Amino acid sequence: MPSKSRIPARLRGIHLYPIFAGEPNWIQCERSIIPEEANGSIPVRFSFIVPQAMTQENTPTIFAAEKRAHWRALEPEIWSIQGADLDAVPTQSILTTLWDQPRWLEAYHLYDQRGSELFEQICGLPEYYLTRTENAILETHARDIIARAPVRCIVELGAGYSKKTVHLLTEQLRQRGSSIFAPIDVSAAGLRASRAAVRSAFPEIQFHGLHARYEEGFSAIDKNLPTLFVFLGSTIGNFNHSDFPRFFRTLSAAMGPGDFLLLGADRVKDVKVLEDAYNDSRGVTAEFILNVFDHINRLLHGNFARANMRYYSRYNPEWQRIEMYAVARARQDIRFADIDAAFQWQKDEKILVEISRKFDPLRLQEQLRFFDLGAVEHFTDPREWFSVLLFKKES
């Protein structure tokens, strides 16, 4: 309960009480209008919820002291950076890469609402072995992973609370009795779903959703809080060759000495298995990749015509990556209504929409040593198709 002196003047006379046990950042205000005040009419009672200003006492301990002031409660148990605009239209990213030679796009544009739904469908496709295989590895080895990473907090990059996260949280509670779980995601809807699921399945866990980009989120975590950072699904495979080192440099700098990183990485394997995973018989992957042009049309009032393009993907053995393209079936004059910018997308010209790199786990372990991340353990499946790697931050 806030002290009287901290209650703003306009709320004076209003009864305040916390709405969630152990939830210090939101208060419910209740106001009863007494008959005299209501001019003899029936007394009315109404209640409303207001955010309580963040103070040293009510800010969760996950944030580093110097970052605390930048974060505010967006809603119960979900935090965002003051003034951050996660909905800003990414005009510059789209235009600079479309004007590049060859043309390409940054993968994050794929995830509008429809794109996120399609990706969920991909995870269940028979050809897309990644999600199932990684889940099985975590189910088998969660006990060992958590035993080797004696932490108080699990920070997941991505909204989390998939089946995979459940294995880790279950073990963390079994071995430590309590835990903090802090997923980081730009999707508030994803964080809400994660919060609801954690509240019902693991009421003992302290939940703090960080509504932010990955780097802003993990850089705010207190280095003195023993933490396991979790980055699953082989999402590192979607980073290009400049994003990849930048990501690990920033993550390593944000980790405290003795913190851990759990990384899911898809492996180099038989080309047919790889190519089928990204060219499924139901065409869901094709729809996922081409949907990005509907998203761009909406964002920038463009005129990409889906009927005039097709999906093409292949494994590039030299770069050890799947490349996913949109190819023009006929010449298209692309224009963006609000911007003075146009280009000709030539017949058969490809736009590289996404890459998905495949890894050699030992090489990856060696590489991450140069970011002060020492290999602790390597978990894999019987076919050795996917790797879950545990690293420890060396000071």
Q: Using CB under 6 A as the criterion, what x/- string covers residues 31-70 for binding ligand AVI?
A: ----------------------------------------
- For residue 90, whether the previous peptide bond is cis, meaning omega lies within 30 degrees of 0, is no
Stretch that binds ligand AVI, among 19-27, 29-37, 210-218, 235-243 (CB under 6 A): 235-243
Q: Looking only at residues 98 through 157 of this chain, which bind ligand AVI when binding is defined by CB under 6 A?
A: 122, 130
Q: Which of 227, 285, 291, 387 binds ligand AVI (CB under 6 A)?
A: 285
First to last CA, the chain: 41
Cβ proximity to ligand AVI: between 146 and 191 the closer is: 191
Is 91 in contact with 97 (CB distance < 8 Å)? Answer: no
Cβ proximity to ligand AVI: between 190 and 237 the closer is: 237
* Phi, psi (degrees; rounded to nearest 5) at 157: -85, 115
3-state secondary structure 108-127: HHHCCHHHHHHHHHHHCCCC
Is 145 in contact with 390 (CB distance < 8 Å)? Answer: yes
Stretch that binds ligand AVI, among 34-42, 88-96, 231-239, 244-252 (CB under 6 A): 231-239
In 3D, which of 235, 258, 260 has the Cα closest to residue 391?
260
356 binds ligand AVI (CB under 6 A): yes
Stretch that binds ligand AVI, among 2-10, 44-52, 181-189, 227-235 (CB under 6 A): 227-235
β-pairing, 386-393 vs 309-316, is unpaired
Residues that bind ligand AVI (rule: CB under 6 A) add up to a total of 12
Q: Which of 194, 235, 291, 365 binds ligand AVI (CB under 6 A)?
A: 235
Q: Which of 162, 165, 172, 234 binds ligand AVI (CB under 6 A)?
A: 234
- CB burial of residue 172 (10 Å; 0-12, 13-18, 19+): buried
- CB burial of residue 105 (10 Å; 0-12, 13-18, 19+): buried
Q: Which of 2, 217, 233, 302 binds ligand AVI (CB under 6 A)?
A: 233
Cβ proximity to ligand AVI: between 54 and 274 the closer is: 274
Residue showing the smallest CB distance to ligand AVI in the complex: 356
Stretch that binds ligand AVI, among 91-99, 185-193, 215-223, 232-240 (CB under 6 A): 232-240
Query: Could you give the 3-state DSSP secondary structure of residue 250?
Result: helix
Q: Supply the DSSP symbol for 256.
A: P
Cβ proximity to ligand AVI: between 225 and 290 the closer is: 290
Q: How far is the CB of 278 from ligand AVI (least distance, A)?
A: 6
What is the side-by-side strand order in the sheet with 350-357?
Answer: 309-316, 321-328, 350-357
In 3D, which of 158, 147, 122, 382 has the Cα closest to residue 263?
158
Q: Looking only at residues 171 through 210 of this chain, which bind ligand AVI when binding is defined by CB under 6 A?
A: none
Strand partners, 27: 18, 50
Stretch that binds ligand AVI, among 83-91, 179-187, 228-236, 239-247 (CB under 6 A): 228-236
Cβ proximity to ligand AVI: between 128 and 229 the closer is: 128
In 3D, which of 136, 157, 145, 143 has the Cα closest to residue 380?
136
Distance CA 90, CA 88 (A): 6
Q: How far is the CB of 208 from ligand AVI (least distance, A)?
A: 24
Q: How far is the CB of 238 from ligand AVI (least distance, A)?
A: 5
The H or E element containing residue 81 is strand 78-81
Q: How far is the CB of 67 from ligand AVI (least distance, A)?
A: 28
Q: Which of 59, 80, 206, 238 binds ligand AVI (CB under 6 A)?
A: 238
What is the contact surface with ligand AVI in residues (CB under 6 A)?
122, 130, 233-235, 237-238, 278, 285, 288, 354, 356
